[in-house]
Amino acid sequence: MPRLAKPLTELQISKARAKAKPYALADGNGLYLMVSTAGLKTWVVRYRLPGSATATPATIGRYPAMTLAEARVCAVQAKRDAAQGKGTAGTRKAQQVAAQAETGEQEAEAAASAEAERATFRAVSGRWLAERRPGWAAETYRKARLVVDSYLVPKLGDADMRTLETKDVRPVLVEMAAKTPQLARKARQYVGSIVDHAINEGLRPDESALRLARSLPTFRSGHMPAVTDDEGKLGKVMRAIDAHGNRVVRAALTLAALTVMRSGVVASARWSEIDLVAGEWKIPGKEPDGSNRMKTGQDYSTSLPAQALEVLREMHARSAGEEYVFPPQARQNTPHLSRDALSKALRDMGFQGEHTTHGFRASLRTLGRERLGVDVDVLEAQLAHAPKDEVEAAYARVKFKEQRRVVMQAWADYLDKVKGGNVVEFKRKA
């Protein structure tokens, strides 16, 4: 005897999910449920007309519009009609309608799936990064990419930006704050901007910005650690750099201290930018790919004091003919020295939380004013801070060029003195 199908239950039917291929769930008496690859559930009954050698399938309804009990009643009626020589009315049409409905549902599901993927945090943050990249310095983009890819996407990547709420983001930021407070603040800033991007794309209503201002625990202000009031400590930093065992890292740290350029700019310095004869470093505002090299995106030049030229001549003997002044070190994937190698060197030398490579800029800003009596406008021009307008920018480049040359040599001499343990007498600008 043929094996009888075990009757289906409503629970079995409701739990049936789409698979790679269509499949059938038999209920018995010729009735079964077809489940398509799109998850569409259709009731089918097989009946045999008198004199026919084969069974004919007929679509009788869709689940859940037609319940299991109703499908069983329809199946019994189809069998009775067949015994009287009558096919189930509308069988061919029902099959066509079902096929068309399945195709339409598949297309609708595909469109909905594509839209859902486009609305994920992963996709929106990727578009946000791509849009921002042309206006960012390479280091700014690198940091944003690090935070998004390493911290935010692993936790929020599949989140739907159309329904993302503050409560979804806050635990991620709090977890980051416990380990990396500085990056947590950046992450909060980036999430807010990514949400704004989603609003601009029409994925969220205009009034749906997240409330992240108080989402992080209170901690100390995030200024880069820098020595600005202790000449003895600054001298200790300079002596430690002088004694560093890696020649390339030592030279790059020294150039960063002497020119107070940002660490990413120093680490990626090119020989084509440096004029050892004129003693000048001309830095293009943009990288060849159009991204910012300088934070402002504007071309910039700084004079090179005698001490910086000495360091560069030493490196020239090592990397002449190469594109970059400072070659990459072991296990570095960049074509030049990694900026992180400079920060790591200072941490390893015992200055974590006290001084960073970027901190030399704050040292010049404070000590240059208080110890060397440098005019604040000259200091701002040397630090390449963005002027308020184009007229002021042009004015600063022209008016302060020679003054900045004098200041940078005075700064290099000052660093030599504190390195030797000599306290510099306070000078007040008249």
- pLDDT score at 374: 86
- Name, in order, each residue with C-beta under 8 angstroms of 26's C-beta and a sequence gap of 6 or more: 5, 8, 32
> Residue 166 burial (CB < 10 Å; 0-12/13-18/19+)?
middle
CB atoms inside a 10 Å sphere around CB 347: 14
What's the average pLDDT block by block, 10 residues per block, for the chain (430 residues)?
71 87 87 87 84 76 87 86 67 51 62 80 92 84 89 93 92 87 88 93 89 72 66 91 93 94 91 94 86 83 93 90 90 84 90 86 87 85 66 55 90 92 54
Angle formed at CA 399 by CA 394 and CA 405, multiple of 5 degrees:
115
Distance separating alpha carbons of residues 187 and 32, to the nearest angstrom: 53
Angle formed at CA 353 by CA 188 and CA 294, multiple of 5 degrees:
60
- pLDDT score at 399: 56
Q: Give CATH 1.10.443.10 domain extents, the chain.
A: 231-419
Q: Give the CA distances from residue 229 to residues 103, 241, 424, in Å, rounded to whole numbers and listed in that order.
A: 74, 19, 12
324 pairs with which residues across the strands? 270
CATH number of the 10-113 domain: 3.30.160.390
What would the pLDDT profile of 196-239 be if each residue is shown by its tens digit? 999 998 988 988 889 888 877 765 444 566 777 788 889 999 99
Largest CA distance in the chain: 117
- Residue 35 sits at φ, ψ, to 5 deg, of -115, 115
| pTM (predicted TM-score) | 0.53
Q: Tell me, what DSSP letter sits at residue 129?
A: H
121-200 has which fold? DNA polymerase; domain 1 (1.10.150)
How would you write 189-237 as a 3-class SS string?
Answer: HHHHHHHHHHHHCCCCCCCCCCCCCCCCCCCCCCCCCCCCCCHHHHHHH
Q: Give CATH 1.10.150.130 domain extents, the chain.
A: 121-200
- pLDDT score at 428: 44
CATH number of the 231-419 domain: 1.10.443.10
Q: Give CATH 3.30.160.390 domain extents, the chain.
A: 10-113
- Name, in order, each residue with C-beta under 8 angstroms of 363's C-beta and a sequence gap of 6 or more: 226, 227, 228, 234, 260
Q: Give the CA distances from residue 129 to residues 121, 144, 300, 333, in Å, rounded to whole numbers and listed in that order.
A: 12, 8, 26, 21
- Residue 161 sits at φ, ψ, to 5 deg, of -65, -15
H-helix or E-strand spanning residue 181: helix 181-200
- pLDDT score at 426: 45
- pLDDT score at 90: 43
Q: Give the CA distances from residue 239 to residues 1, 39, 211, 415, in Å, rounded to whole numbers and listed in that order.
A: 96, 71, 47, 10
Closest CA to 66 of 55, 80, 77: 77
- pLDDT score at 3: 52
